[in-house]
Amino acid sequence: MRTSPSQPIERPNLGAGRCELCPVRHRGICSALPAEQIDRLTAIARRRMVTANQYIFRDGDEAISFAAILSGVVKLIKTTASGEQHIIGLMYAPEFLGHTFSNNHRFSAAAATEVELCTFPRTSFSRLLAEFPAMERWLFEFTARELDICRDWTLMLGRKSSYERVASLLLMIARRARYTGCAPLPDNYAQFELPLTRSELADYLGLTLETVSRKISRLKYKGVIELRGTREVIVPDIAVLAVVANMDSCGEDLADRQSFSQQS
């Protein structure tokens, strides 16, 4: 897994004009706050740019700041006792990165693509969290959604065929990628660039590189997806991909629904 030490470009406090143009202002943590509270949050914020494959923080680092993802994709990485690194999650805008009650991070975070973050010092953010119940509620709901995703992922890795696993991952990316751009997309359609290499996809899914490549080719052959180059994926009908993945379009597993997939 190719990652480099983080060499971020950090900008000063964000002005009101910059926040007005923020692409995730009405969907991220700021969406829970009235204007005067957003101004208080903006006063402690710093903008940070991280290039692809650079670390944002590492497993064991002191958790001194948290961040809202404004653009790009972040991969979460866990290092085993033997030193092996495994991807354990992906995060997209407008998700919130790094919040923990521990003094240290329990995993690493690296930029899968170029990433723009809005960072908040832990001490200042925690003070505002105590003052603003709506922000605390938003963070609680976000954490609950993360837990739901982890449960879905545990089921997928333990019970689904390799074909369903690949389809499920593409479905999860398609659903989240639909809301990361500014341009509106047709209903039930998604177009995105894979944030991981195929070898990273294989690691994430617990499959071999050859198996992942075969299943992607099969999805293309059946017309479930279209490929442009090695990374760009088009999903003409998310509902069809959801049936193949044995999930509904919101990510809930449909164990009692007939699937187009076949056991590998």
Whose tokens are 């999860």? That residue is 172
Mean pLDDT, residues 161-166: 94
pLDDT in tens, 112-135: 999 999 999 999 999 999 999 999
In the predicted structure, residue 174 carries a pLDDT above the cut 70? yes
How far apart, in whole angstroms, are the C-alpha atoms of residue 18 and residue 98?
A: 23
pLDDT band for 185, please (50, 70, 90 cuts): low
CB 108 within 8 A of CB 1: no
Mean pLDDT, residues 10-30: 67
pLDDT recorded at residue 184: 52
Is CATH 3.40.50.1860 the right assignment for the domain spanning 160-245?
no
In 10 A of CB 30, how many CB atoms? 22
Where are the domains positioned within the chain?
Answer: 9-146, 160-245
Mean pLDDT, residues 155-180: 86
Span 9-146 CATH architecture: Sandwich (2.60)
pLDDT band for 212, please (50, 70, 90 cuts): very high
E-assigned strand segments in the chain: 9-13, 46-50, 55-57, 65-71, 73-79, 85-92, 96-97, 108-111, 115-121, 190-193, 226-228, 232-235
pTM for this entry:
0.82
Is the preceding peptide bond at 94 cis, omega within 30 degrees of 0?
A: yes
pLDDT recorded at residue 224: 97
